[in-house]
Amino acid sequence: MGRRCMKLPRLCAAVVLVIAVLSACSARGAGVAGTGGAGKATNTATFALPAAVTPNWIWPFAAVQDMGVQNIAFLQQLMYRPLYWFGDSNGGPAVNSSLSIAQLPTFSPDGKTVTIKLKPYTWSNGEEVTAQDVVFWMNMEKAEKQNDGAYVPGQFPDNITSVRTPDASTIVLTTSEAYSQQWFTYNELGQITPMPTAWDVTGPGHAGTCATSTAGCAAVFSYLTAQAKDLPHYATNPLWQVVDGPWKLKSFNSDGHVTFVPNLSYAGPVKPTLAQFNETPYTSEAAEFNVLRGGKAIDVGYIPPQDLSGPKPAGAAPAAAGPNPISGYTLAPEYLYSINFFPLNYNNPQVGPIFKQLYFRQALQSVVDQNAIIHAASAGYGVPTNGPIPLYPASDLISSLEKANPYPFSLSAASDYLTSNGWKVVPNGTTTCVRPGTGAGECGAGIAAGRALTFDLQYYSGQQTVATAMASLKSNAAQVGITLNISGAPFNTLTGTAVPCHGSGCTWQMENWGGGWNFAPDYYPTGETLFLTGAGVNVGSYSNPAIDKLIQATNHDSGTAVMQAYEDALARDLPVIWQPDYPYQLTEIAGGLKGVTPQNPFATLTPENWRWSK
């Protein structure tokens, strides 16, 4: 009897002891590991791929589902150089002429003729990179534009009326209209990747005619697509071994283990010094971090924000690094050129009329506390979004209005917007419309008396930052009587529900899949894909004719003034609700590995810059 009575306390004591030991051990665990520099001994570098993505498309002509960064930046552009490279040597979003295969284009005075001169580059099979290779790409694009993810109807290649090659290294394009030089270079010419004539085949040993005429492209397209679907043979297929970039494939495994070796015939300005470049896959961020801590397997990896030992000091610059718990590694936050937001459905029959009122959007934006969310959800690493132009990295496109933030976080301002437009604000209750009508100071068209501000907001619960941001938004909105019924949903539900619609079946209200917009491959942040009436990705069906005119101007007129005019107007008009923009990842670089920073704002990699210091 006595023995039995003692079992339970003994069991409890054991459990408590184990927990105490674990806590103590974990506390000691911080700061251990990382001798950093696993690849130093062999002059190689191992790069950790983002969680749960693996490269799986090698041909630089891809449908939209294959256009992820893992294919473009981590596979294709290492081997097949695009015509123009974006991301300058300071980490800014400008075009990089030294890494581009062509010189910057020149425009005729009327703006309709564009001349591109190629620099002397060679393919690894000995052939030169010629104008024919560019025309090959343009023909393929013309013939198979439905299969190109970057195609926007009315734009490239529909707006090209003729393509001439006066000599082997010059291409002259004639456009149907005069376009903005920046927009045309960044978003249209930026799509081109010259393809070698070795790829102009319809079968092994059967030459195709796509490089000379569009009629022959369908057959070449089928053959190259079939080759691109044959993942086990990526490293041995002779087609893919013809490269003009600094690297070529040594081995490729569809589970994500990829190795590259230098291409000795690369003609660019920086040649690789590493003997080998490896990519390794991870099922989750936590799995990658566990391996990173060991210090033996990863040279360039990342740390999830939750594992930081402390937040970044407030007020520090976005690129500044806060405390780094891994010794032997340097922390370098990596931001992409992107904005973050979630859309409202203007065509929803019930709540659409409310969304269409600017004052409501102003109120809703004013209850978003971006700085607090960045502090709590991302340890201080993040940049607020105030408008359609990313605030980081710095560029002269950013206007002073956007930088100053037309709608800072302010519960009193939100309350004012509502009360001065016919609503009775009940903090922590329900705000209702008390002055319906379309006059000044009244709620607006389609809003009946007694109407309450209650909305459904679905968000991507699989991402910690989004979950925290939405909990905070709900809480803040409640303080001015706006009720947000938030619920988590899987990613595919959200993207499937948030589609442009109209009519009585158009029932979604607000959807936040956490993604916002990444300006790649549309490197110049004009708004014709996002905010133009009827644009494909304008899922909320936002429509403002004045903004449409400004967007058209950004496509046709060069210079920063026209961009800033568009930017200011859109920042004021709040087509969507802006959200904080988080770093793409918090990169950890092994001590002794130089040349990894500054990181490219389009996530492209340049391992030819990386070298181990002595």
Partner 1 sequence: MRPVTTAVAVGENADSEGGHDASTVGLPSGKPKSMFRLGAEVFLQNRLAVVGLGVLGVALLFCFVGPFVYHTNQINTDLMASTLRPGQPNHPLGTDQSGYDELGRLMVGGQTSLEVGFAAAFIATLVGTLWGAVAGFVGGAVDSLMMRVVDALLAIPTLFLLLFLVTIVRPDIEVMICVLGLTAWLVPARLVRGESLTLRVREYVQAVRVMGGSSRRAVVRHILPNVAGTVIVNATFQVADAILLIAYLGYLGLGISPPATDWGAMLSNGTNYIFPNYWWLIYPPGVAIILVVVAVNFVGDGLRDAVEVRLQRR
Partner 2 sequence: MIRFLLRRSLQAVVVVLVVTVDVFVLLHQLPGGPARAVLGARATPSQVAFFNHQNGLDRPLVAQYFTTLGHWAGGNFGFSYTLNQSVGSLMMQRLPKTLVLNLLALLLTIVVAVPLGIYQAVRRNKAFDYLATGVSFVLYAAPVFFLGVVMLVFFSQELNLFPPEAPQGDGVGPIFAEPRAMVLPVVTLAFLGIAGFSRYMRSSVLDNINQDYVRTARAKGCSSGRVLTRHVLRNAMIPIVTLIGLSLPTLFAGALVTESIFNFPGMGLLFWQAAQDSDYPVELGVVLVTAVATVIGTLLADICYAVIDPRVRLGA
Binding site residues, partner 2, CB under 8 A: 3-4, 7-8, 11, 15, 22, 25-26, 28-29, 32-33, 52, 54, 56-57, 63-68, 146, 149, 152-153, 228-229, 231, 253-255, 257, 280-284, 286-288, 290-291, 293-294, 462, 490-493, 495-497, 499-500, 513, 515, 517, 529, 536-537
Binding-site partner at residue 499 among partner 1, partner 2, none, CB < 5 to 8 Å by type: partner 2
Which of helix, strand or coil describes residue 437? strand
- Nearest CA to 142 out of 107, 186, 173, 108 is that of 173
To 10 degrees, what angle do helices 370-378 and 464-478 make?
140
Parallel/antiparallel/unpaired status of strands 593-594 and 247-252: unpaired
**Measured distance CA(85)–CA(95) in Å, rounded:** 6
Question: At its nearest, how many Å lie between partner 2 and the CB of residue 326?
Answer: 12
Q: Are 67 and 150 in contact (CB under 8 A)?
A: yes
**Measured distance CA(468)–CA(577) in Å, rounded:** 16
Give phi and psi for 579, each to the nearest 5.
-135, 160
Question: At its nearest, how many Å lie between partner 2 and the CB of residue 272?
Answer: 25
Question: At its nearest, how many Å lie between partner 1 and the CB of residue 567?
Answer: 28
Name 590's bridge partners: 329
Binding-site partner at residue 468 among partner 1, partner 2, none, CB < 5 to 8 Å by type: partner 1
Q: Please, how many CA atoms are within 13 Å of residue 42, restricted to the half-sphere of its CB?
A: 11
Q: Are 224 and 151 in contact (CB under 8 A)?
A: no
* Helix or strand run (H / E) with residue 130: none
Q: Are 519 and 93 in contact (CB under 8 A)?
A: yes
Binding flags for partner 1, 336-375, as an x/- string (CB under 8 A): ---------------------------------x--xx-x
- Nearest CA to 75 out of 53, 96, 95 is that of 53
- Nearest CA to 93 out of 391, 383, 316, 405 is that of 391
Residue 254 Cα distances to 162, 258, 301, 372, angstroms: 40, 8, 20, 41
From 112-120, 152-160, 205-213, 485-493, span contacting partner 1 (CB under 8 A): 485-493
From 27-35, 134-142, 171-179, 328-336, span contacting partner 1 (CB under 8 A): 27-35
Residue 446 Cα distances to 349, 541, 585, angstroms: 9, 18, 44
From 25-33, 98-106, 436-444, 549-557, span contacting partner 1 (CB under 8 A): 25-33
Binding-site partner at residue 133 among partner 2, partner 1, none, CB < 5 to 8 Å by type: none
User: Does 489 participate in binding partner 1 (rule CB under 8 A)?
Assistant: yes
Q: Are 292 and 301 in contact (CB under 8 A)?
A: yes
Question: At its nearest, how many Å lie between partner 1 and the CB of residue 306?
Answer: 4
**Total residues interacting with partner 1, rule: CB under 8 A:** 47
From 54-62, 271-279, 306-314, 552-560, span contacting partner 1 (CB under 8 A): 306-314
User: Does 6 participate in binding partner 1 (rule CB under 8 A)?
Assistant: no
User: Does 286 participate in binding partner 1 (rule CB under 8 A)?
Assistant: yes
User: Does 468 participate in binding partner 1 (rule CB under 8 A)?
Assistant: yes
Tell me how far apart the 2 most distant CA atoms of the chain are, in Å.
102
CA 569 to mean position of chain CA atoms: 24
Out of 486, 547, 550, 593, the residue judged to bind partner 1 by CB under 8 A: 486
Q: Are 311 and 324 in contact (CB under 8 A)?
A: no
Question: At its nearest, how many Å lie between partner 1 and the CB of residue 421?
Answer: 25
Binding-site partner at residue 254 among partner 1, partner 2, none, CB < 5 to 8 Å by type: partner 2
User: Does 483 participate in binding partner 1 (rule CB under 8 A)?
Assistant: no
Out of 470, 520, 532, 562, the residue judged to bind partner 1 by CB under 8 A: 470
Nearer to partner 2, 94 or 494 (CB): 494
User: Does 226 participate in binding partner 1 (rule CB under 8 A)?
Assistant: no
Out of 222, 306, 420, 597, the residue judged to bind partner 1 by CB under 8 A: 306
Cα-trace Rg, the chain = 27
| Cβ neighbours, 10 Å, residue 405 | 17
Binding-site partner at residue 553 among partner 2, partner 1, none, CB < 5 to 8 Å by type: none
User: Does 464 participate in binding partner 1 (rule CB under 8 A)?
Assistant: yes
Out of 106, 176, 222, 309, the residue judged to bind partner 1 by CB under 8 A: 309
User: Does 478 participate in binding partner 1 (rule CB under 8 A)?
Assistant: yes
Question: At its nearest, how many Å lie between partner 2 and the CB of residue 309?
Answer: 15
Nearer to partner 2, 270 or 286 (CB): 286
**Measured distance CA(213)–CA(335) in Å, rounded:** 41
User: Does 8 participate in binding partner 1 (rule CB under 8 A)?
Assistant: yes
Binding-site partner at residue 23 among partner 2, partner 1, none, CB < 5 to 8 Å by type: partner 1
| Cβ neighbours, 10 Å, residue 309 | 12
| Exposure class string for 502-539: b at 16+ Cβ within 10 A, else e | eeeebebbbbbbbbbbbbbbbbbbbbbbbbbeebeebb
Q: Are 423 and 443 in contact (CB under 8 A)?
A: yes
Question: At its nearest, how many Å lie between partner 1 and the CB of residue 429?
Answer: 13
Nearer to partner 1, 15 or 226 (CB): 15
Nearer to partner 2, 92 or 343 (CB): 343
List residues near partner 1 by CB under 8 A.
1, 4-5, 7-8, 15, 19, 23, 26-27, 29-30, 286, 289, 293, 304, 306-309, 325, 369, 372-373, 375-377, 460-462, 464, 467-468, 470-472, 474-476, 478-479, 486-490, 493
